[in-house]
Amino acid sequence: MEAMDETTARLDHDRQRRTGIPEVVLCERKSPDQVVAIVRRFMEREGRAIATRVRDDQAAPLLEAFPQGHHNPLARIFTVGNIPEPAGMPIGVVCAGTSDVPVAEEAHEMLRALGHPVVRHDDVGVAGVHRTLAILPSLEPCLAVIAVAGMEGALASVLAGLIRQPVIAVPTSVGYGASLGGLAALLTMMNSCAPGISVVNIDAGFSAACVAHKFAAAFSGNGVKPA
């Protein structure tokens, strides 16, 4: 852990060793100058940096400071440096509707930054359940499946009742008034009668990717071991 500097950030350069996941810069409520300074410190110490929830006013200075970096505006993620090549079993990322795509894209982009191949399907929600059924064969090679859905959030339950892989459910804030900003989908996913579902927070594609990454590490025998 480092002492504070002008960014007021105490960066955790040991997190990758302890947890298997590097510290990631959450850009919300940070100034563009703070974000650039933090990313620069990660690059100097570790040779890579990942930033999430990147605003447009932060993306431009990041790309100016690190022109070799990659910005995905839909996912709101910026990566730069030694990003691993995709390897191992793929992770599935599926979303119910096109309104859920930004959250699915956040999960997808974070998996890419952590070195995972992805099987991706959008707009396969249960309102047209034939679409859900049609993608099942492509999910067979996957280690786990991230299911992103708003409204009533039924996609995760349907998938968990049909596939052998663990399902990581991501409720989104998509929906009309009674969806309560994603709370209805969250409660549906948490109260599912289909076993084998884990649930992350509303719109938390990043968190779902981290859970899938830990599943993959444990499956491959590369999980975190006591120091």
Name the one residue in this structure whose structure tokens are 């719109």.
203
Residue with tokens 């007021």: 8
Question: pLDDT tens digit string along 99-135?
Answer: 999 999 999 999 999 999 999 999 999 999 999 999 9
Q: Is 225 a residue whose pLDDT tops 70?
A: no
CB burial class (10 A; 0-12, 13-18, 19+) of residue 195?
exposed
Q: Which runs of E-coded beta strand occur in 30-144? A: 48-52, 70-72, 77-81, 91-95, 118-121
The pLDDT tens digits of the residues spanning 46-94 come to 888 999 999 999 999 999 999 999 999 999 999 999 888 888 899 999 9
The tokens for 172 are 């989104």
Number of CB atoms found within 10 A of residue 217's CB:
17
Q: What is the pLDDT of residues 131-164, one digit of tens each?
A: 999 999 999 999 999 999 999 999 999 999 999 9
The answer on pLDDT for 177 being more than 50 is yes
pTM: 0.87
Contact criterion met (CB below 8 Å) for 63 and 71 = yes
pLDDT tens for each residue of 45-55: 888 899 999 99
Query: Using CB atoms within 10 A of its CB, is residue 85 exposed (0-12), middle (13-18) or buried (19+)?
Result: exposed
CB 211 within 8 A of CB 200: yes
Taking residues 19-24, report their average pLDDT: 81
Lowest-pLDDT choice from 2-6, 13-17, 54-58, 141-145 = 2-6
Asked whether residue 223 carries a pLDDT value surpassing 70, the answer given is no
Q: Taking residues 196-214, report their average pLDDT.
A: 95
Which secondary-structure segment (H or E) carries 82? none
Would the pLDDT of 220 be above 80?
no
What average pLDDT does range 190-208 have in this prediction? 94
Percent residues over pLDDT 90 in the chain: 74
8 A C-beta contact, residue 99 and residue 155: no
pLDDT-derived band of residue 5, with 50, 70 and 90 as boundaries? very low
Q: Output DSSP code: residue 80.
A: E
Cα(5)–Cα(161) distance, integer angstroms: 50
Furthest C-alpha separation in the chain = 55
- 138: nearest Cα among 179, 108, 177, 94: 94
pLDDT confidence band for 8 (50 / 70 / 90)? low
